Each structure stands twice: as C-alpha cells, then as structure tokens.
Chains A and B, each alone.
Chain A
Amino acid sequence: MSTAVLALQHINKQFGHGHTAVTALNDANFEVNAGEFVAIIGPSGSGKSTFLTIAAGLQTPTSGQVLLNGQALTKQSEKERLAYRFNEIGFILQSSNLIPFLTVTEQFKLVDKMAHRPFQQSAALELLNELALSDVKNAYPNELSGGERQRVAIARALYNDPSVILADEPTASLDTPRSIDVVQRLAAEAHQHNKAIVMVTHDQRLISHCDVVYRIEDGNMTRDNTATAQ
C-alpha cells in the first residue's frame, strides 16, 4: 500500500474516438507525499494540463485511478467533486485565481463563508506574514504586483488546509527573480507545513528547487531521479 497523499495509477486519457482519437496521457503513474514539492515538467501540449485536471477531479480518466489519501476518486457526482476540490485541493493558477472584487483578506473570508465557519483571523494573518503580504492585506488584486498576486494565491491555497496543492504554471507571468522567489516559497511551505505541492511548469530553471521531478512528453510520464539535488 502506498502512503502517498495523492497517487495516480495507470492513468490513460483519450479524447475522441477511432481514427481521430488523441491520447493525452498514456499509462501515467504519479505519487506525491506530504511535505514533498514535486514538479511536472514538459513542453506545451505534452499532457500537463490533462494531468492536472484529472488530479483535480475536473475530468475523469479513460482508465486508471486517482487515489487521495488511499481512497479512489472515480465515479463521483459533480457535487462530490466540487466538495473534493474545495476541501482537499488548493489551487494556484497560471495568471491568478484571485477574485478581482475581494481584498486580500476577503479572499480568505470567502473560503470561510463557503465552509460555513467564522473567519480564521489568526491563521490568515500568520500566512500573510509568512508570505510577506502583511502590508497589502486590504488591497485588491489589481493593486498588487504579479509576484504579490501569486503569493496571495499561495496563501489562499494553504488557508483551507488542503491535502494537496496543485500549481498550474504559477510563474508563467513572472520575471526570473520573482519566479525563483515564488518557487522557493512553495518549497518552503511544502516543507514547513508538511504539505504535498505539485507544480506543473515548462520552465527548466525552476526544477532545482523541487524535491521530485516528473517529465512528461507526448502523454508519457516518467520520474526523473537525476534532475534534483537529492
């Protein structure tokens, strides 16, 4: 039995049928443990996004299974999948997944409103402090820099205490120093909070900060044990 927080086993994903069928993922195997910062690296069109949507429960695989804390996710209702994403997964999306009309603090409050619980002020302040965002806690997303926005997204993802954080090209809109900063912070959060963080990227420069690297090309996923320092 695997102790992985999130595991994808023998995942196949095909789009279309017959001659026009396209294989997006071909027998992909993946796992991430608590406290691990994993990168999935590959060129565009390699199947990275498909992998992410299947891990997030947004799409069901053609075959294979997704295990979260050892439990299979297949054949869930739309409502259960929403609850799964809300409770178990934190997202950091390409540009920004922040709500434009909510201040930084209100982004956290929204999570609490949805979960029907009071605002966890101390937890929010602690996260903001940790990510050097204390000064902008009352700012709207459009008043923040790109780096600040992604840091807020990291804080927002951690705030709901999910099992896994999925980051989809979190550095796509950032310059190199800011990209490095965001990735270092992701690594730090994974280790500090004992969270499983999965980052999808095409940027080779970032992988030296990751604990584990998977490469994906034309739907084939391989674990690259040579890429990291470990």
Chain B
Amino acid sequence: MYLGLKEMRHEKLRYSLLSGVLLLIALVVFMLAGLANGLSNGNRQAVDQWHATTVYLNKNANQTLSASQLTLADKKHLQGTKIAPLSNLSGTLRTSNNQLKTTASAFGTSRNSFLMPTVTSGHRINGKNQLLISAALKDQGYHLGQKVRIGTTKKTVKIVGTYAASTYSIAPTVYTDTATLNRLKGSPVTSGQQQPINAFVTKRSHFKTSKHGNLQRMSINTFIDNLPGYSAEQLTLNTMIYFLFVIALAVIGIFMFVLTLQKQALFGVLKVQGIGTSHIIAALLTQSIAMALIGIGLGLAITVGLAQIMPAGLPFVINWQAFGIYSLALLGAAVIGALLSWRTVAKIDPVVAIG
C-alpha cells in the first residue's frame, strides 16, 4: 500500500495518464451500456410492463408476434383465467388534420385485460373507437378528446386516456380494444370469436405441454429475445463492452509489465533489504486498483453528466445494476492486469543488486 501510493504521488503524470486511459475505456463501457439499456428498453418496455410470464403464438409464426395469426376462438386450447388476447399494429399515428405524425406501436386487447395499462389521466376504454396513449405521445401534443388515425385507414379513434411511458419496437405505444384494432387494421371480421389476433399472453407458466393446438408456448424472455432486431442489437453492444474489458486488461497488464521491467533494479534492491515479492505485488495491485477506481469513478461521473445533456432522441438509459457489474469487471481487469507481472517480479534475483 505505502510503497504503491507513494510512488503514484511522486510519479503523478505517469499514473494519471493510465488513469486517463482507463477513464476513457470506462466512459465508453458506460456509454455503450446506457445505449444498450436504452435500446433494450425501447424494444421491450411495454412487454415488461405486462408482468406476464408466457406468450402463445401461432406455431408457424417463427416466434414473431407480427407473423402470428390466431383467432379469439383459439383460446379454447388454453385453460384458466388471466389469459389476454393481444393484437399488434405498427403504423403512423396522426391527427385528422395531419399536424402531428408519429410512428407508434398499437396494441389491442380485451377491455378488462391485465395487459391494459393503468390510466393516469382520462378513463379506461369503455366503448368503441377509444384509444389510450403513452406519456411520450402526450408530450408531443396529443391530448384527451382528440380524434386520431392509425395506419392508412380513414377510420378515426378518440383519445380517452393516457398512461406512463411505454415503448415497443422503439416506438411509443397506444392501446385499444381488440375490435377497434381490427377495424383500424381493416380486418373483415371485427366482432365475435373469429376475430384475428396475434397472440395470447398469460401470467401462468405451469401448463403441462408446450403445444396447444396450433399454439406454441414461449416464455416471456424467449419472446423478448425474438423481438425484431433485439438480440442482434444487444449482442453487438454487449460484445463491444466485453472487448473493452479485454482491452482494459491488456492496457493495464502491459503498462504494469513495462513499469516492472523498468524497475527491476529497484525491486532487486528491495528484495536485498528483505522486502519480498508479495510486498512488491501488493504495491502493483494497489496502484492498478487505485488507477481503476479513479478511472471508473470519473467515467461514471462524466456518463451521468452527459446523460443530462443528451438529445432526447438518443435511447440512453442509465442502469445502475449494469454499471455496478461493469465497474466490478473493470476492477477485476485491473487486478488481473497487475498480477500478470507476478512471474517477472518473482524472478528478479536480488543477487544482481550486489556487485
């Protein structure tokens, strides 16, 4: 400890340079993590808000919601309560005078289903052609009582309620009932049990088989992983983050190794005087942990600062749990990086310091 910290104090430039490099790496890690989390949120926030456990799609739908065609009557394959039908329509939400236009993800479900979001202003859907909109749309200027269109049809629906922020496929969500969504879709059947829907969503997970007639059961996590582009996006960003850990490890490892080579004579003198390998390694560890802590701390602070001034369109959401794990991973890289010089330190022969 003492040796390591005193050396850092004396060689401020040298050690602040490496802290700076670690700061940059940490910053990129946290920015990527924030973006990954923001994009993930943008894709799945609505799904998370369902608090559901299981999704049933058409078994030929290749696990994709939009490709899954079912009817309300298919519910006969499933037993129990808390099973909600779900229809999805991606389209442009616009006011009748076309002043406001927004890409939105529309969901249709039964009026009293658990999928319906909790209304924060206005009222629940209690009649035909009513629509609930999420907070982001309200912020854009849509308001209660307004008549809006979705997609290409001329049919209008009336905004009757708003709810918390919610997105799906990086678009803000709106909710309506199944029949209204079918009318918006231009479906020939807009009432009764033969109405088309895309999926059933349930909070139960203990059905015995995975095949239920033409239905295929999937866990909510599998469903999320199969959201269009979701896995590819997350994998890309996470791979970049994992590579950064390797880079951090290499940077620290090489830096500490080069310093160790430079200080071989000094370490020899220390060993002559009875200050052994373990003390020297402890000093190296102290230094790399201190540099990592400085880099991670400043990286976090700058990330939080940048998050305040980022444009609203950037899908950046701070996830403290992920930041905590990544901080520990960077710290781990620093520890391993320092330990890479162990052999070199151990091999320094104190005899060379004499004569």
Contacts and interface: CB of A to CB of B under 8 A. Distances in A.
B291 to A, nearest CB: 16
Interface core residue of B2, B271, B272 (most chain A CB under 10 Å): B272
B6 A52 contact: no
A103 to B, nearest CB: 9
Contacts of A178: none
A124 B116 CA distance: 78
Given A82-B276, A91-B272, A100-B266, A56 B2 contact: no
Given A49-B355, A168-B354, A99 B274 contact: no
A84 B273 CA distance: 9
Nearest to B11: A101
B266 A113 contact: no
B272 A58 contact: yes
Contacts of A85: 272-274
Interface band, chain B: 20 to 34
B275 interface: yes
B269 interface: yes
Contacts of B273: 85-86, 91, 97
Nearest to A86: B274
B274 A87 contact: yes
Contacts of A59: 351
A163 B269 CA distance: 19
Contacts, number: 69
Given A79-B276, A82-B276, A52 B7 contact: no
Contacts of A227: none
A93 B275 contact: no
Contacts of A110: 2-3, 275
B269 to A, nearest CB: 5
Interface in A151-203: 168
Interface core residue of B9, B274, B355 (most chain A CB under 10 Å): B274
B351 A140 contact: no
Interface of B: 1-3, 6-7, 9-11, 266, 269-276, 279, 350-351, 353-355
Given A78-B276, A82-B275, A86-B273, 17 more contacts: A53-B355, A58-B272, A58-B351, A58-B354, A82-B276, A89-B274, A91-B272, A93-B272, A101-B7, A101-B9, A102-B6, A102-B10, A106-B6, A110-B275, A113-B2, A114-B274, A140-B10
Interface of A: 48-50, 52-53, 56, 58-59, 78-79, 82-87, 89, 91, 93-94, 97, 99-102, 106, 109-110, 113-114, 140, 168
Give the top 9 A-B pairs by smallest Cβ distance, nearest first: A86-B274, A49-B355, A101-B10, A85-B274, A82-B276, A113-B2, A101-B7, A97-B269, A82-B274
